[in-house]
A and B are shown apart, each in its own frame.
Chain A
């Protein structure tokens, strides 16, 4: 049958008016990426810390209520200082802050992984297959294109940061059965939300900039690995040498961590809880039975650094947050500059 006999029908539908123009790019990109089994595996892996966070907040809510449900597991709480056990509600925001901080410690890793899996193709493939004229001949501006592409990374990163945060927060609220929880912890939710967007925007912009630098996505992958892993290794190596206070700034994830801690106010909360544990230890030394029934030293308590009470149990290798924020902002500015240079409009001679 001749092709023209198959007919051409006019379309009488309506254009969608509510969806932003860039949304089609994001939706299509997410659809394509979700078919990648490595992406799915990473998403599933990222669920684990989220489940742990949700479970922890639930258990803490029950602990606050001294629920009988926890009776079989009370031994888990025996090692806590007496002050904490007596009035857990007074340490609610502290515990929540530390829990969310630890959650993000893991999710930064998953975010880096997801960005690595999702991002390299986004612009490099468009450059390779010359897709820009197709995009820009549609009712899209260059900024719509960038936002649409950024949206793809953001969807995945927010899926492993913001979405679990909100869910865990709701679960924590539910288990606390105390309206005051909202008052005590809303800052944690706000800070976590803000940090989730910082991660999505920073990593997304950076990856898009990398992706625009090469038409070969393997090169982009290598660039990202360099930023992430080589930066961490270099930072660690330089930290070992004296007079290298700026060394943590070389690590992209340390900078994210610095901003995270500043937003959540983690240092102050570590200090607060550290003092409680130190007080408990003093009591133990003076013969009070603040230790477990077998006189075990608590690893968690012992790990606090007396000289640096804000360091938390894992020590401190993070840069000061204003510098970290500066580095992240600088990277974002450079990324935007790269994008605007590499992804040019059609307003040029062929």
Chain B
């Protein structure tokens, strides 16, 4: 896995998160630690590859503690006339697959454009892969791959020329670009159509072509804006499978903007919910989908309807859901109550687990807290 950051190590020793480091070790005495990787001693050039960690990066944003994140934005504000697209957006996103959720007009696309340095922000600052979005925009765009939401094509080209051209625009030598184009077209399953003009491609093929052209230079960060828009279920599943593979098997960092919650849930580890140009919720999906103290999913061996009645008599609510019951215990009660009832009525509990919020609930809850419609 060769995904990472190249540059100078920080003056201050510390611990950060990254995957690769090439450059000088810190001038100050100290030790920089890479998680699962190698060491760099002060004053000595170091080079190495590690999984899941890297040397410390300089402290970002003037002394805020913590390790380096893939993306860090602070107080990012962007207005278009009377419309505020980003309203002091601050967020730190780790490596991995991150989903960007939000209703239309939440600021997802504006945030992506800000990350790539495509817009001049009114206020705030940010770093992507350790690069400043205000001063290193071109380098960010070189290291990142981006597949825009809209249907967009370089006209008049065959598939393979299209992807190779995308590589050349990033700065790949033409021969490398062509070779990579063939490889990534095979990877996205467009190998058979590589010599067809791209205008004749179907919607799904165009979407895969966009992804191919975004990964042709093996970016460290792949940004996909609504990658499954307008696709049929089969095509959508293929794209999601592709994203999963890129993120989990190929070590590519992903930022996926979507308003389709299942898509994000299928691919991402982290999620950011935007609304009104602000972050409404952010975190690991499995943490956001928190377990409820008094809500359980339960399945019994015997008559579930009868068991539900017993629970109701004890002040709980029990709703059948698929093959099990969704239970909410009364205030102050614990799961012991369920065991007690089962024991007293000689019922076997075959499944008992705390109910977790769905991503949809997280999303809607975040929107409600943020005062967004939804």
A in complex with B: yes
Interface residues of A (CB under 8 A from B): 3-4, 6-17, 19, 21, 24-25, 27-28, 32, 121, 125-126, 128-141, 345-350
Which A residues are CB-close (under 8 A) to B246?
Answer: 8
Query: Which positions in B face A, CB cutoff 8 Å?
Result: 1-2, 80, 83, 85, 109, 113, 116, 118-120, 138-139, 141-142, 146, 148, 150-157, 165-166, 168-174, 176, 180, 183-184, 186-189, 191, 199, 213, 215, 217-218, 238, 241-242, 245-246, 249-250
Residue of B nearest to A136 (CB): B118
Residues of chain B within 8 A of A13, CB atoms compared: 172-173, 176
Cβ contacts under 8 Å, A129 to chain B: 152-155, 199
Contacts of B213 in A (CB 8 A): 134
B118 & A137 in contact (Cβ 8 Å cutoff):
yes
Q: B118 touching A345 by the CB < 8 A rule?
A: yes
| Bound form: Cα–Cα A134–B242 in Å | 21
Cα distance, A133 to B116, chains bound together (Å):
12
Contact status A138-B141, CB under 8 Å: yes
Q: Which residues of A contact B199 (CB under 8 A)?
A: 129
Answer whether A10 and B171 are a contact pair too, CB < 8 Å, given A3-B188, A137-B148, A349-B80: no
Given known A-B contacts A4-B245, A24-B169, A28-B165, A139 and B138 have beta carbons under 8 A apart: yes
Inter-chain contact A347/B245, CB cutoff 8 Å: no
Q: Which of A12, A15, A133, A349 contacts B142 (CB 8 A)?
A: A15
Evaluate contact between B154 and A134: CB separation under 8 angstroms.
yes
> Nearest A residue to B153 by beta-carbon distance?
A129
In the docked arrangement, what's the CA distance between A131 and B151, Å?
9
A39 vs chain B, min Cβ distance (A):
14
Q: Chain A residues near B172 (CB, 8 Å)?
A: 11, 13, 15-16
With both chains docked as a complex, state the minimum distance between the C-beta of B144 and any C-beta of chain A, in angstroms: 9
**B155: chain A residues within 8 A (beta carbon):** 121, 125-126, 128-129, 131
Are B217 and A11 in contact, with the CB atoms below 8 A?
yes
A347 touches B142 (CB 8 A): no
Residue of B nearest to A135 (CB): B169
Tell whether, in the assembled complex, residue A139 and residue B139 are in contact, meaning their CB atoms are under 8 Å apart. Answer: yes
Inter-chain CA distance A337–B141, complex, in Å, is 27
Asked if residues B141 and A137 are in contact (CB atoms below 8 Å), the reply is yes
The answer to whether A24 touches B165 (Cβ under 8 A) is: yes
Are B189 and A16 touching (Cβ within 8 A)? no
